[in-house]
């Protein structure tokens, strides 16, 4: 049996062991309506092969309408390992990631992608497990004009795309504080940012040693290619977080993440797909890949021996649609670019069929939640 670090993907196991007819029915139940493979240009395939990353593409369909033209958008999700070891100089680590991800963005552009999203804190190892302030806080930079945002502006302008760049932010205006932030850039222009709403305090996710909950609400960014939002990592465990992006009109919600197998993998394929169904929008779940080893040992507060590794980041990035269909995931062990073509008309079509927004009773829940947060609240229990 393959170890958690060796297993390629759930899909590869299903393909290997299930006969075609049974596999089709299993995937229908697990993944919904089949997504059709996209034909990707040879230039992008060559870029992926030369630089050793996986590239896959799938297409979601919507019904043709008489009064609206299709609203076709291509999104690209990038998952990756760190490039060089964590004990190397910080600038070398960041520069190596800048160069590597720029190459994958090139393949996305060759595939006519309109919106690209990177994984959480993509410019650095996910060092928050260590609780060490030095040297990891040095990775924090300005969201508006730091070196990473300047690089992303150049890529965005060169390729005429929207790029979502999740970084560790240094807020020089408010006391040099640090935030976990996603920066949105369009055609070379800084559009805005969103800070992570929910901060984990579980396992080795010691992020509150570095930053607290964000203060930007639930912004939706109106772009040329649709209304987009970013639900950063741990926020995917909070249904109301997904919900508020939908209330504000999001059509695509990206979930850049960094999460490990032993903790969350059984939840991974469910949460973003469920959010797409419940909120009638597309969701894009992105997770980093690999096992990162740090120079110093750290403990988890659970009686286990001190260790230098966080765990295995299992990739498996995927896209889900409001009708419950989803793409297969990328590899659990390899860098990759997942491309999904979608017709945003599907969002309204699903709303018309299922009526979730019409039947959701916001007035009732608003009153109940307002009551529940009061110090004198008494649960509605009948004996």
Residues with catalytic roles: 120, 196, 233
Q: Which of 272, 256, 334 is nearest to 12 (CA)?
A: 334
Cα separation, 135 vs 132, in Å, equals: 7
Are 183 and 165 a contacting pair, CB within 8 Å? yes
| 7 backbone dihedrals φ, ψ, rounded to 5° | -65, 125
Angstrom distances, CA of residue 157 to CA of 154, 185, 193, 380: 5, 9, 18, 55
Residue 289: CA count within 13 A, CB half-sphere? 25
Cα separation, 55 vs 85, in Å, equals: 25
Cα separation, 166 vs 147, in Å, equals: 13
Q: Which of 327, 343, 330 is nearest to 37 (CA)?
A: 327
Which element (helix H / strand E) includes 268? helix 261-279
Torsional class of 153: left (φ above 0), alpha (ψ -120 to 50), beta (otherwise): alpha
Torsional class of 280: left (φ above 0), alpha (ψ -120 to 50), beta (otherwise): left
* CB neighbours of residue 147 within 10 Å: 15
The 10 Å CB-count burial string (b at 16+, else e) for 300-310 is eeeeeeeeeeb
- Cβ partners under 8 Å of residue 6, min gap 6: 333
Per DSSP, 308 falls in state E
Cα separation, 120 vs 180, in Å, equals: 8
Q: Which of 125, 126, 178, 191 is nearest to 152 (CA)?
A: 191
Helix, coil or strand: residue 359: coil
């Amino acid at each position: 049996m393959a170890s958690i670090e060796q297993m390629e993907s759930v899909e590869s196991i299903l393909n290997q062991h299930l006969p075609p007819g049974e596999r089709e029915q299993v995937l229908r139940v697990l993944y919904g309506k089949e997504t059709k493979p996209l034909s990707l240009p040879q230039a992008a395939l060559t870029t992926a092969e030369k630089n050793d990353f996986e590239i896959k593409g799938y297409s979601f369909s919507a019904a043709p309408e008489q009064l609206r033209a299709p609203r076709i958008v291509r999104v690209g999700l990038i998952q990756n390992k760190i490039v060089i070891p964590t004990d190397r100089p910080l600038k070398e680590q960041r520069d190596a990631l800048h160069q590597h991800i720029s190459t994958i963005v090139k393949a996305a552009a060759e595939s006519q992608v309109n919106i690209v999203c990177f994984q959480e804190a993509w410019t650095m190892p996910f060092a928050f497990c260590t609780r060490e302030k030095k040297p990891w806080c040095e990775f924090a930079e300005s969201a508006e004009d730091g070196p990473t945002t300047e690089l992303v502006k150049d890529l965005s302008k060169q390729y005429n795309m929207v790029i979502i760049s999740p970084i560790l932010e240094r807020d020089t205006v408010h006391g040099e504080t640090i935030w976990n932030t996603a920066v949105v850039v369009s055609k070379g222009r800084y559009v805005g940012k969103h800070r992570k709403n929910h901060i984990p305090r579980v396992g080795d996710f010691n992020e509150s040693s570095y930053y607290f909950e964000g203060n930007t609400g639930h912004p939706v960014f109106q772009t040329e290619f649709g209304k987009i939002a970013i639900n950063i990592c741990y926020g995917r465990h909070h249904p109301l977080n997904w919900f508020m992006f939908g209330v504000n009109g999001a059509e695509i919600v990206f979930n850049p993440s960094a999460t490990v197998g032993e903790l969350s993998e059984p939840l991974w394929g469910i949460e973003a797909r469920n959010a797409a169904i419940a909120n009638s929008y597309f969701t894009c779940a992105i997770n980093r890949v690999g096992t990162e080893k740090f120079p110093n040992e750290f403990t988890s507060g659970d009686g286990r021996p001190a260790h230098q590794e966080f765990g295995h980041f299992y990739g498996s990035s995927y896209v889900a649609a409001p009708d419950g269909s989803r793409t297969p995931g990328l590899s659990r062990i390899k860098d990759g670019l997942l491309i999904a073509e979608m017709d945003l008309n599907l969002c309204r079509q699903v709303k018309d069929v299922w009526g979730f927004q019409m039947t959701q009773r916001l007035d009732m829940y608003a009153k109940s939640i307002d009551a529940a947060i009061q110090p004198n609240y008494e649960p509605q229990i009948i004996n």
